[in-house]
Amino acid sequence: MSVAGLLLLSILSMFAVTQTDVPATNPDPNRFARDIEAFEQWDSKNAFPAEPVLFVGSSSIRMWRTREGFANLPVINRGFGGSHISDVLYFFDRIVLPYRPKVIVFYAGDNDVAGGKPAQRVLEDYRKFVDRVGTELPRTRLIFVTIKPSGQRWALWPEMHKANELVRDLCAKSDRLFFADLATPLLDSEGKPDDSFFLADRLHLNAQGYAIWNKALAPILKQALASSSSGPNDR
């Protein structure tokens, strides 16, 4: 290779390293302003249950028919598609705190990794959410739903799986944190995403996929509710 070619290769290598080392930034949370306002408008016209089970997170929560899947429980769904953990944190005072939930079922991190955030960042951001809940809602139990494997984002699965394992370790350290492995039931016999559980986009779950999630989450949710302290969720 010529000297010029070697020089060009060196420059490209340096550029690649630089790009890899640049941490992914949080997207602007205000892109969800209308979604959050819609939740608040609904709340202003409707009563919500005391000490509910709050499902919060990205589109996997938004598209989950939680009232049907858990009809025997007081459920509130506050999913907004495309969100990162940082977005849920940003709107905490508006989509979590007002309900003072007994249990929070949390799904986010999927878009974080797809947006370039590493597993460690997912852990750090979820820990911030955990700490916020611990400060504001000390009696609330949290269930982390694992980032799901999907055909569309299968190339990212190693990093997503790593994030899941890091959060699993975090949950093992506290009796108020629960870890729901809803990823494994979506894999086929070869350990790959089973497309029969997904919509045509190979990213979002279909009714069959959500039926799997309902069944897998039910015993963990029951355990979390049983462990939650009785009484008002006051600081």
What homologous superfamily is domain 29-227 in, according to CATH? SGNH hydrolase (3.40.50.1110)
Q: Which residues lie across from 145 on neighbouring strands?
A: 180
- pLDDT tens digits along 66-92: 999 999 999 999 999 999 999 999 999
Residues 60, 80 contacting (CB under 8 angstroms): no
- pLDDT tens digits along 96-116: 999 999 999 999 999 999 999
Residues contacting 74, CB < 8 A, separation 6+: 49, 50, 51, 52, 53
Inform me whether the pLDDT recorded for 228 exceeds 70: yes
Dihedral sign, Cα of residue 37, residue 125, residue 169, residue 100: negative
Question: Coil, strand, or helix at residue 171?
Answer: helix
Domain ranges of the chain: 29-227
Instruction: Answer with the residue of higher pLDDT: 1 or 51.
Output: 51
The structure's pTM equals 0.88
Q: Which two tokens stand for residue 214?
A: 């309902």
Phi and psi angles of residue 206, each rounded to the nearest 5 degrees, phi first: -95, -175
pLDDT confidence band for 230 (50 / 70 / 90): low
Residue reference for tokens 């279909």:
206
